[in-house]
Amino acid sequence: MSQTFKLAFRNIGRNKTRSLLSALAVAVGMALLLLMASVMEGEMRGAMQNSIRLQSGHLQIRPASYDENKISLKWEDLIENPERVVEKVTSLPQVTAATPRLIASAILTLSDQSKGVQILGIDPGSAANEPFQIGLLDGQYLQAEDREGVLIGQTLADKLNLKVNDKVNLLMTTSNGDVDEQLFTVRGIYSTHIPSYDESTVLMPIAKAQSFTATENHASTIFVLLQNQEQAEPVAQALNTSNLKVLTWREQNALITQFEDFAGVALIFFYLIVLGITATVVTNTLVMAVFERTREIGILSAIGMKGRGIMAQFLTEAALLATGGVIGGLLIGGALVAYFTVYGIYIGDYGVTGMLFEDHIYAHLTLQNTLSLTIVTYIITLIASLYPARLAARLEPVEALHGLGA
């Protein structure tokens, strides 16, 4: 075994440039896949985390009849006295924050422009709404008793050229079916780094949202954050009642999971294409080596090395090339992933309905992706070397020695 390894190692070193280029092909292929997998992981992870922190929470409690696509303001579709529900939910030890939210559709109008938006009535003091406070770029954060102020997202502000203290008109249909409009002051501009969200979501204190929409002491949902997202299912079961339904982050973000599954399949095709190209390079290198070393194969065969020994020799060389390639791939890929983990890739407003993609995708490397790619690269390289290895093993000694004048 050590002799096979020694011979393989030296054979690799015989044509250093060719071996280096072959290992580099493996390395570049692997680095590319590592980056792709990390970017995909980062994108999906980011979308899920964004949804949890801004939209779905770990849990959402809604009236059984509430349909989020209709954004109903009918009292029967809303939670009455949401504070009571919040009080009950926050008494559970797994819950870190729970807050009522009222959601309504509106049209924001300026003198010469209008834009469809979603009003989100929030409790500014709740820890669950910290992302808006942290994301405040300009102006002031909302106060619970403010009856005229709203926060708008940066994208909306940029598109409508709005600044802090500008006035905007919001027009909406209330729960009674009446059309109402009021003038609001832009108290502040926030950014969640999600252009689609920042363009469409106008925040106001929930008390004002309730009076504006004539929903009195009602909320659309209770937004709940837990200590650990894996606790969502048992807590949901504990909170389930006949007139309220509790949705977990998994149920609410099924689209992201589906998208992730789809992306996973697409990634496998990408893996196959890249590794297929890499495999071709390895096969080519080893086939050339077989033809160059036909005499030596004949000599080894003549002194009694069996076909499987010759095959093992070429497989060992392939494994060494793969090792070099994998190490190089981990180094190159690791460096690329590290860069894009910190700086991200700017994608701008990559709007997919129901998905909260940030304007940057940040790579996220997982141990599972690293291990699976390392193993897959090894396996593909070894499969690629099977043909040349078998070619060498099947050479008849007399044919292999032909070049010796035998």
In the bound complex, what is the minimum distance in angstroms from residue 286's beta carbon to another protein? Answer: 16
Residue range at the interface with another protein (CB under 8 A); choices 7-15, 44-52, 153-161, 263-271: 7-15
Q: How many residues lie near another protein (CB under 8 A)?
A: 27
Nearer to another protein, 177 or 405 (CB): 405
Contact 97, 225 (CB under 8 A): yes
Find the shortest distance in angstroms from Cβ 26 to another protein.
22
Choose, by CB under 8 A, the member of 7, 20, 24, 110 that binds another protein.
Answer: 7
Out of 45, 193, 250, 295, which residue is the one contacting another protein (CB under 8 A)?
295
Q: How far is the CB of 304 from another protein (least distance, A)?
A: 2
Candidates 5, 307, 354, 390; binder of another protein (CB under 8 A) is 307
220: its two tokens: 């659309």
Tell me the two tokens of residue 286.
């080893």
Tell me: does residue 405 bind another protein (CB under 8 A): yes
Q: Shortest gap between Cβ of 311 and another protein (angstroms)?
A: 12
DSSP string, 185-231: EEEEEE--S-HHHHHHEEEEEHHHHHHHHT--SEESEEEEEES-GGG
What gap in Å lies between CA 110 and CA 311, rounded to an integer? 77
Q: Would you say 210 or 313 has its CB closer to another protein? A: 313
Dist CA 200 CA 213 (whole Å): 18
Q: CB-based contacts of 398: which residues, under 8 Å, 6+ apart? A: 298, 406
Does 296 contact another protein by CB under 8 A? yes
DSSP state of 404: G
Rg (CA), the chain: 31
User: Taking CB under 8 A as the rule, does residue 397 contact another protein?
Assistant: yes
Selected from 110, 255, 302, 376, the binder of another protein by CB under 8 A is 302
* Smallest gap from residue 281 Cβ to another protein (A): 22
Applying CB under 8 A, which of residues 111, 304, 342, 353 lies at the interface with another protein?
304
Contact between 10 and another protein by CB under 8 A: the answer reads yes
DSSP, res 352: B
d(CA 16, CA 202): 63
Residue 404 sits in the site that holds another protein (CB under 8 A): yes
What phi and psi, each to the nearest 5 degrees, are found at residue 171?
-120, 130
Torsion of CA 89, 90, 91, 94, to 10 degrees: 90
- The span of 52-60, 304-312, 321-329, 350-358 binding another protein (CB under 8 A) equals 304-312
Distance CA 377, CA 241 (A): 51
Choice between 7 and 92, CB closer to another protein:
7
Q: Which of 64, 179, 352, 406 binds another protein (CB under 8 A)?
A: 406
Strand partners of residue 247: 60
Instruction: Provide the binding-site residues for another protein, judged by CB under 8 A.
Output: 3, 6-7, 10-11, 13-14, 295-296, 298-307, 309, 396-398, 401, 404-406
